């Protein structure tokens, strides 16, 4: 989302100068242009501001600018400046979708108040659009990214605009933080979802075999190559190739990978024929590739080729508010897998889980959820490390009380499948009190319906 701004369109240079000074005093970003075409060039569907436009101008007049803006995005507020007493123009503008109009000479305070209201409306419109897009993605079958913590919302806001592009993405995060899940989510929610998602762990394949794994080989290319093999790039044609632990890739192979990424052609070992491939590459690393490239341990040109967009995945200790929801999700999956009953955590157990520092990240939480399904509450008792507060993760009393309150409400909503009435009874809260606390903790009952 771009920085909120005002695009002011007026053919009078003196008025443009006055407006620039006025907006500067109010600390409002403004771009002043002399005609409608120049103003429209500043806009896009992601424009996070307001258009303030004079009505009487040579070329495009104010109504024509309004119509063009509404064609681009009818949620961009357009305010029309009209001559004194020109009521018919103002009425026409409002009928055609203008946010408001203001007469010249305008009152300074009235204009500023009007602009601030319009900017707020635009921000709300963009936020609602973003949330609706995320809900639409979550409604699709396939992998989901669970969590409403600020860290996960940053991840979602970064990857959502990239889903239907071919841009290479670099995922960076600790072991177990969910890089594979995010790569699968990107693939399954992209236009490539009907084709293969192919994953390879660059650190798990022996150095003498990884080139064949990636690019394939012809029969007889080397000892033991008794038949042709299609490599990962070919298998991922029109789909997605996920390169996990890419920092482990041998330097000589990095040169060949760079060439494939630039030319989108592969040659099987033992062949001189080039094969066209249409592949989106998502690479993942737990290391700082920039530092490795500066140290000569990773090719700088490959780093920049992979790092079109970098997504930093927060460790679980930085998104502890997501722990109860994630744990409940993993319990449901394990219960279905092992044909066991799904028994939700009580509030005290959920609060204890949130005190743990989770060095193994989401993977550690998922494993604990599986043991919980298989062994019951004794799995938690037999895992004191996961149930004991970490010194490094200590919270103030107020923070602990807030965490406990939130986890108690989340657990109750999970048990009651989002039913407000049942949750009220379980927690012994009045309806208004429960809604107030849910609003305080950013909880929505719709998230807990099965």
How many other C-beta atoms are found inside a 10 Å radius of the C-beta of residue 159? 22
Q: Which two tokens stand for residue 50?
A: 């307001």
Cβ neighbours of residue 318 closer than 8 Å, sequence gap 6 or more: 149, 151
What's the confidence (pLDDT) of residue 389?
43
Q: Which two tokens stand for residue 57?
A: 């101008």
pLDDT band at 137 (very low <50, low <70, confident <90, very high): low
As a whole number of angstroms, the distance between CA 414 and CA 322 comes to 13
Q: Which two tokens stand for residue 18?
A: 């006055």
By the 8 A CB rule, do 292 and 241 touch? Answer: no
Largest CA distance in the chain: 90
As a whole number of angstroms, the distance between CA 89 and CA 79 comes to 12
Identify whether 105 is preceded by a cis peptide bond (ω within 30 of 0).
yes
Reduced to 3 states, what is the DSSP secondary structure of residue 199? strand
What's the confidence (pLDDT) of residue 1?
38
**pLDDT single digits (tens) 156-177:** 889 999 998 999 999 999 999 9
Residues paired with residue 50 on neighbouring β-strands, in sequence order: 6
Cβ neighbours of residue 60 closer than 8 Å, sequence gap 6 or more: 35, 36, 37, 68
The angle formed by the CA atoms of residues 387, 333 and 187, to the nearest 5 degrees, is 110
Residues paired with residue 365 on neighbouring β-strands, in sequence order: none
Q: Which two tokens stand for residue 51?
A: 């258009």
By the 8 A CB rule, do 267 and 215 touch? Answer: yes
What's the confidence (pLDDT) of residue 390?
43
By the 8 A CB rule, do 6 and 50 touch? Answer: yes
Question: Whole-model pTM?
Answer: 0.59
**pLDDT single digits (tens) 62-121:** 999 999 999 999 999 999 988 766 677 778 888 899 999 888 888 888 999 999 999 988
As a whole number of angstroms, the distance between CA 195 and CA 217 comes to 22
By the 8 A CB rule, do 68 and 60 touch? Answer: yes
Nearest CA to 344 out of 364, 363, 324 is that of 324
As a whole number of angstroms, the distance between CA 82 and CA 66 comes to 13
What's the confidence (pLDDT) of residue 206?
87
Is 150-314 the same fold as 6-130? Answer: yes
pLDDT tops 60 at residue 6: yes
Q: Which two tokens stand for residue 344?
A: 């939700």
Residue linked to tokens 């030319």: 263
What's the confidence (pLDDT) of residue 362?
92
What's the confidence (pLDDT) of residue 397?
59
Q: Which two tokens stand for residue 265?
A: 């052609």
Q: Phi and psi dihedrals of 186, rounded to 5? A: -60, -45
Reduced to 3 states, what is the DSSP secondary structure of residue 262? helix
Nearest CA to 386 out of 401, 404, 369 is that of 369
Q: What is the mean pLDDT of residues 188-209?
A: 91
Domain spans of the chain, in order of start: 6-130, 150-314, 317-448
Nearest CA to 46 out of 123, 141, 135, 147 is that of 123
| SS3 annotation, 5-61 | CEEEECCCHHHHHHHHHHHHHCCCCEEEECCHHHHHCCCCCCCCCEEEEECCCCCCC
Residues paired with residue 9 on neighbouring β-strands, in sequence order: 33, 53
Q: Which two tokens stand for residue 128?
A: 């609602």
DSSP 190: S
What's the confidence (pLDDT) of residue 32?
94
As a whole number of angstroms, the distance between CA 280 and CA 288 comes to 22
What's the confidence (pLDDT) of residue 382?
60
Q: What share of the chain is helix, strand, coil (3-state, %, to 5)?
A: 50, 10, 35
Nearest CA to 10 out of 29, 36, 30 is that of 36
What's the confidence (pLDDT) of residue 78?
95
Class of domain 6-130: alpha beta
Q: Which fold has domain 150-314?
A: Rossmann fold (3.40.50)
pLDDT tops 50 at residue 122: yes
């Amino acid at each position: 989302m771009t920085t909120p701004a005002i695009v002011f369109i007026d053919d009078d240079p003196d008025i443009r100068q006055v407006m620039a000074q006025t907006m500067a005093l109010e600390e409002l970003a403004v771009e002043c242009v002399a005609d409608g075409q120049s103003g429209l060039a500043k806009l896009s569907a992601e424009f996070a501001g307001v258009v303030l436009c004079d009505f009487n101008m040579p070329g495009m007049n104010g109504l024509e600018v309004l119509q063009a803006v509404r064609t681009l995005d009818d949620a961009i507020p357009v305010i029309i400046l009209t001559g004194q007493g020109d009521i018919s123009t103002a009425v026409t503008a409002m009928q055609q979708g203008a946010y408001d109009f203001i007469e010249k000479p305008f009152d300074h305070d009235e204009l500023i108040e009007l602009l601030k209201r319009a900017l707020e409306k635009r921000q709300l419109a963009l936020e609602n659009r973003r949330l609706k897009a995320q809900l639409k993605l979550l409604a699709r079958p396939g992998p989901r990214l669970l969590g409403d913590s600020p860290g996960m919302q940053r991840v979602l806001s970064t990857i959502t605009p990239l889903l239907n592009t071919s841009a290479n993405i670099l995922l960076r995060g600790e072991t177990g933080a969910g890089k594979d899940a995010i790569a699968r989510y990107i693939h399954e929610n992209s236009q490539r979802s009907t084709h293969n998602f192919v994953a390879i762990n660059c650190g798990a394949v022996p150095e003498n075999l990884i080139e064949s794994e990636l690019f394939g080989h012809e029969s007889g290319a080397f000892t033991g190559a008794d038949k042709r093999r299609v490599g990962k790039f070919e298998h991922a044609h029109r789909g997605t190739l996920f390169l996990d632990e890419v920092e482990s890739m041998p330097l000589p192979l990095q040169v060949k990978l760079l060439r494939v990424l630039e030319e989108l052609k592969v040659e099987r070992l033992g062949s001189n024929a080039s094969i066209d491939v249409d592949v989106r590459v998502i690479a993942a690393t737990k290391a700082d590739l920039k530092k490795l490239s500066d140290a000569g341990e990773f090719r700088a040109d490959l780093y920049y080729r992979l790092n079109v967009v970098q997504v930093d995945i927060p460790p679980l200790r930085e998104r502890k508010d997501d722990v109860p929801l994630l744990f409940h999700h993993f319990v449901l999956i394990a219960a279905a897998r092992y044909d066991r009953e799904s028994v939700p955590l009580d509030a005290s157990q959920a609060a204890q889980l949130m005190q743990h520092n989770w060095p193994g990240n989401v993977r550690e939480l998922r494993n604990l959820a599986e043991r919980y399904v298989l062994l019951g509450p004794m799995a938690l008792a037999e895992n004191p490390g996961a149930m004991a507060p970490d010194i490094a993760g200590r919270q103030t009393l107020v923070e602990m009380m807030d965490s406990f309150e939130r986890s108690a409400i989340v657990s109750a909503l999970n048990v009651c499948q989002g039913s407000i009435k049942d949750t009220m009874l379980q927690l012994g809260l009045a309806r208004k009190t429960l809604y107030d606390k849910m609003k305080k903790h950013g909880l929505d009952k719709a998230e807990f319906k099965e």
